[in-house]
Structure formats: structure tokens, C-alpha cells
Chains A and B, each alone.
Chain A
């Protein structure tokens, strides 16, 4: 290692520690305590600096000793001010005896500054040492003899006041007393605390020695951590050296502004569709059964219209009106085909039922509204519409989801151009080169087809369904040209792109998941 580079990117704290080793060249090892004294650093800063230097292999750990250290607890500090219970009780009894009164144990236990358990423990000890006598009726009498433990306690409190000392620095009898009055499990209200302090001593590694020499040559004081406006203003930066950073460390995380990955996926689909010449349509979350189903030639007795498939609105239950001439034309078409060339469903169309309000259950409702609003011919339309189904929610069923749907109108629309459009979707939306067209059934299209594609990552999958709108759908809405209706099922593709396995996670409330999910599409 080059001597210069070995000390170039040292933190000021590290340099302070190395400096101590530089001025004590003759000493082979220095303890943490010695280093703390010599550097004047706080213990947290010191241990940080040592940790870095050891990690960089500039310092090596020479020895490790465990020393029990004694210090005062908050209770111990109270004793320093008020005296220990031993001392307070002894002096109270003596003071009472001097005035000819006798104190009882109960009297002492009643005193505010003493804890009942402390009192009985202290009295027990004083009695054992012969400093007190307990006579009839629980009265206490001073014998006039001194109490060695009360004395020792006073000494210890004094010595440990604002200092932590190794347990071994005390004589044997004091050590016993300390242990007896130290915080242990089950007795936390004690004056002393014994903590094991790990003392390590460190020595320079050969690389460390090189760094120390290099540092000495450089001089320690010229370094600047941060370029400041002041340094720039007077040109003082010219005489400074700038500390080099350890740039290999991981930076802290920041909260960045970001789009939702599922929304980004839908945005990508949206712009693909616009690129293919589709115009966006929008609709209402609440729809009438008329636009949601009747216009799509789903008979009013169709099983997909009952209360186990669609959410009905509570209040108001019905729309105030439905636009003519659509209502009567659609009713006629359901009943006997009207002018569409169809035989119709042959039942009595219920106008009230048509007005029933539901939560939009299929994006095709938006297409139906567009057909009735004099769309462009030729024309291509799409919507990414939130739809609602009366479904038990689980990993593969959501009650509230997006449908990507649309229509294509034109004189050149037929079954083959329908397949051509689906080919285009397969290529553009799923990057699939292989497709399969499978006959399908939808109440509003004939012929109907399902698009299966070989996705580059997912293998064969169903990408969507489509068909030519039945004339029973288009003619009552005033559209005379053939119309393709198509829908794409993209949630599975989105879930794979986002690396999630539960459809509910598309709308997750877990911010960490949203922040960390990359949309890869």
C-alpha cells in the first residue's frame, strides 16, 4: 500500500487516534482507557474511530480484559445526599435516645424518606453488628457502639460519587458490601451497580505504522472536511487540504417522488394504444343496467345480471331517465329484433329494470355510450375503466379492477381485420410473435374470438377477447358500419412485471412495497 494513500482518506477521528500512537512510539500497545485520556474523545466517538481503523487493518487488537466496574445508581446518588438508610436510622435512634424517647420500628417505617423494606434490612444489619438493640414492644435502643458497615457505606458513597472505579481497587470487606448492595436481578433498588467493562488494547499494524509516518510527514492540522462559502470568498481554500471520503460506503436512503408501478404499466398500455390510433373514452362509475347490459343485448333475465354478479346502488335505485330514441329502439330489439334483422329474445322488456343503477361491471358499457354519441367512422376508441364485480375477494379475484377495452368502427371491419387487430395487440402489448385464435362466447359479439398468445416470459396465455358487435347492439345505437369490440386481460402480465403474486397487491397499502417495486416492462 502506498504510504500516501493509506492516510489519505482517514476521518479526523481516526487521525486523532493514530496521532496518539505516533507520539507514543515506544509503547507497544494502548488501552481504550489510555486512548480516551490521550485523545480527549467521547467514548462513542472513540469506539467508532477504533472500529474503522480495525476494519481498515491499521490497528490490531492486542488484548481483551473484562473488568467489573462499580458505579452509583440514581438511588446511590440519593444516598450521597441523604446518607444511607443504615446511617440515617442509627442517627435517628441515637437522637431519640438522647432526648429520652424510644423509636419503634413502625415509627421508622412511617418516615417518608425511608422505604419499609430498607428499614427492616438496615435494622437487621445494625442489630447483628451490635449497634442497636430491639427491646420490648419493638422499641429501638442505641448501644453506643459503631456500625462498621454504616461507616464503610459512607466512605464508598463518597469515593464513587461522580466516578466509576474498578471493583478490584477496593479492599476485600468493601467489595463484599458493594456486592451485597449492588443491583441484581430481583433487587433493582440498590445504590451500587457493577458492570463488566471490556478493556481492549490496540497496537499499530505494519500498515498502521506506515500510515502514522505518512500522517506525521503531512502534518495533522491542515485538513478541511467541508468546502464552505467562507473558504471560497477569501481564497483560503488554496492553503487547505480536503479530506477524501470513503465513497464505497452505502449512502442513506431517500424518499424519492415516483409514479406507482402498476399505473406506469397502465400508462405504457395507454400510450401504446394512442400510438396505434386509439382515442380515449371515459365513463361513469355508476351506470344504468341499460348502458351496462341492455344496449349490449344481454337479456334482462341473463344470469350475469342477478344480484350475485353485479353491485346494485342503494339510493337512488333508479336513473331519472334514459335517452331516447335509444331506450325504445333497444327495448324493441330485445323483444322481437326491431329493424335489426334479428328475432330478438322474445320477452317483455322492462323499462324500470333498464333504469336500475349498478356499479359499472364491464368496460363495454363505456363503448356502448360512445357508439350512441356519433363516433367517428372510421374510428378507434379505448378506455381503461374501473369495474366492479360481486366476487369473493382472494389472491386472483378483485372486487374493483381495471378493464382495458375498446371498439373499432369502419367499413373495412370484418372477421379478418378483427384477427389482424388482435395480431397487432399481441405484438405491441405482449411482445408475442405466436398467436392462436379460439372461438369464444360473449353475449354482445358474433363471431367471438379469444386471443391466446405466447408471451416471451409467461408462455401461452389468454390475452383478450373480442368479436364483431352484434347488429342488435350497433343498429339501435345508430351505428350502421361493422364494429369490433375488444378487451385485454392485462392483470396477469402486470403482476409478473411487478413481481407480485396476489392481485390485491396491485392496490397495496404497503408503502415500503410501493417504494421498492420496480416496474420492468
Chain B
């Protein structure tokens, strides 16, 4: 047989070794920085987790249902109430709240980076060109691969999960923001310029409001990706629904897997409907809807 030769490849690029060395160097060099990051992220996550899990279940659930009613209406509120009842019924409430805290912390930080980056990319073609391959890389790299270096740097727990989630969820936030700003009718931007508006005012009063529906769609994507990554973070030992999913996988426990998985689905639907409802509440979307009536 001739296949024996395949054990000796023609050449071998030691890319993996290089990354490994790089991560090791980074870890030892920026130790203090990473400690700082860890403290901040952990502080935010623990604080939020306490808010969600500290008070009695019914109070937290009612607040979340109330938010649903305020953003969308009674239909979403009823749906959320039923969903949360199911989560409580399968004893996944604590896990769901831990996951929610992780999603919110990671999603918020991802957006704080992604939106300004998207605005800069919309104004600078060179930056936009440089960002594109980086964003492609971030979005297509298998999600749990991010967990490996973050575990090396931050050890196990919620923090590697949060960091990996931020990296993974960043890309659509940047992309949608850039797309939204670039898509604003150039004549309206010209109008701002023609009446002597400063670039800052044009950004604040014309570009961002007009791009808001698209940016909100980006926010929705960031949140949804954060949730999917938060579940994978269970592999790194982050608390929440993900950890039970991983445990169920390891023990081939169909029952637990289904219950924890259902919790993820319900949480995903809640977050998706909430963020799309927020997009519909953008002033521009509302103004255009008025015209259709």
C-alpha cells in the first residue's frame, strides 16, 4: 500500500507552536494587565449575577416580563411568562440567570468596542479594508477554539467565557454599524454639511439616528452570538446553562441535555424578541411606520 507515506507530510508549518509560544509570552508579559481585566470582568459578572439570582425568583421574573411588556406588548409578556415558568419548572432558573448575566456583560462590552469601531470604519476606507479580514477570522474560527487561549490566560470560570464571547460576538456589531452609517442617504449627510454642521453633529444628529435600525439589527446579532458562545463557555467551566449541557453530553444524559437546551432556546427567543422590538422603537423606524398607516 502506498498510504504509508502520508504519515510523513511534505512539509509542516509550525503555526500552532508559534501561537502557543506567543500566548505563553503574552501571558507572562502582560500578567498585570490580564489580572486587571479579570477583576473588572469578574466584578461585573458577579454583580449582575447577584442581581438576577439574589432576589426571589418571582420578582426577577416579573421584572423581565414587565420589560417585555414595555418594549413590545402583552403578547411578548405572556410568552416570556410561560417561558420563564418552564425554566423554573425544569429547575434551570439559576443557570439561566447566570447565562443571562454572562451574555449581558459580554454583549455590552462587545458593543462598546464594536459600535465605535464600526463608526470609524465607515469614515475611513483604509481601516475598513484592514478590519475586514480580521472580522472574517473572528467570525469563522470555530467558536470554542477561542476558549483555549483564554483558559490559558484566565484559567477556568466565567472570565475566559466572557472574553471568548466578546471576541466571537464582536464582528457583526462592527459590520452592521459600518453598513448602517455608510448606508445613510448621502444627500441627507450633504444637507447637514451644506448648512454648516460640524462632523460631530452630523454623526450625532444625522448618521447615527438614520443608521439606528441597522445598528440595532447588529446589536441583536451580537446578543444572539453572545448567547451561543455563552453556552459553549460551559466547556471552560463558566456557570450557567452551558455547564449542564456539557455535563449532559459527557454523561449522555438526554433528560438533562433537553432541559438545559430548552432553557437556552427560551432565553434566546426572549433576547431576540426584546432586541428586535427595540430596533422597531428607533425614531426613524417609527417615523417610517407612521407613513405606512
Q: A and B bound? A: no
